Structure 1
Amino acid sequence: MEAAGDGRFICSTTDLPLNRPAQMMVNDWGRIVLDIRSSDESTIHPANDLLIQALAIYPCSHLVDRWESKLEKDAEFIRQSEKGGKCIFLLNNTFDVLQMVRRQSASFASDELASRLASMIERYKKSYLDECWAPLNRLNLEEFNAEFLATCHRQMTWKVTAELRYQMRQEIVDFIVPPYEVSLSALQGRGKRLLGAPFSLLRRQIVGEKKQKKYYYYTVEQLEGEIRGLFEG
């Protein structure tokens, strides 16, 4: 087994077919049918354990390719209308396999395999941020408030494994808060008076005889507080 240029691990006999026990395990993946009604973004795919067992017999990148394909195919069924939830499902399962690999002392648990799984996790994180949070950075502050709260509300009950949960929260903070802080500073620079308010209040309030609009803009600390409450399940 050797490392490929892109960090993948490969067998020195990549042209050979899988041996019979490994092939039987791969065939089992195709017969796995998840119960869509009871599955969500936190469901750990049965193919994860089968991958580890197969790698112990035949440590080859083909196995990871096939597992990855199965995982992404089933993610489409579990989260058909929620691309962000699909990314969380993929993150949870890839992180699960990475943790199992790190606990293994067998020869297949190589740095190259761990590197490939870590690379997959980073790719799924980027897809999640692009899908769920990047659109908010293109909104003005008045639009941002409502969309931010709606996004947090949708994801508050999503389940993410504990160690990954803290990583994801920090990724979102780093992605959302700095642009928001720049926008707040620019607004203050134009002489706008910023009004802090609890998240329970409406973002917009109509006051005065002329129906003048008063906007509430949240502090950086308030945004971080909401983000750090995500994924509690």
Structure 2
Amino acid sequence: MKNKFIDFCALCFRTNKNGLSRYYCEQHQPKTNLYNLDRSKLKRISKDQFSKMTGHIEKIRFLSRELDTLSPSPSYLLEHTRKIRQNGMLSFEPAFRLIENEYGKAYMKLEKGSFSISFPSRWVLGYLVRLGYRNEEVQSIINEASDLDLFDIVVIVSARYEAYRRLQEHFPDRRKNKTEIQLSETERSKLMSLIKSTPLKPNGRICRKTLGEVMGTSRHKAGRLINKLKQNGDIDGDF
């Protein structure tokens, strides 16, 4: 997405200023895992169009444009809403409505209630940081921006962020996330009490299905909780 404020990474919404390559952000450096994954996703979306590109730079720019197509373009909407002013000052309300209607994933980071018309630059900086930018990446851009520029930055970045999130949703990671289970002392004591009151199987092991029913959860989650207690040494490994 070509704009005068932020040089986007070719594969996401971040700035390309912190990477070793002039076209990519720090996380999308060539040959890294994330670079390969997201580049592959965009190539799949473009189908046979990517193979028609010839030069290296042309291919990079093509993939960046493909990413832009995954969310509504801000150009037309900006052209109309940026002209709205209230008491001689730019009103951010059109931007809030635009993001809510068109860029729902970005809107979740908006924190509209914290906006202050007296300090719009501070709010915009906070918004960009919540999206995933580092303060030092965008501070100078914000400092040099007028109110009208700030309005544009909010919408342009929201559109690019939305596009990247939609890319991830289009190709979800189907690998199982192994989330570490953390138990508080109260939860541990309650679980231990339930285990002691649950009848054992003939082989002396706790029945995961029965424990799950007592807990109101699945046998699989009950099994994971038992494994956690084993790891902590709260119950015997053969239990």
Shorter-chain TM-score bucket reads: under 0.3
Q: Which has the higher contact order (CA 8 A, sep 6+)?
A: 1
TM-score, scaled relative to structure 1? 0.22
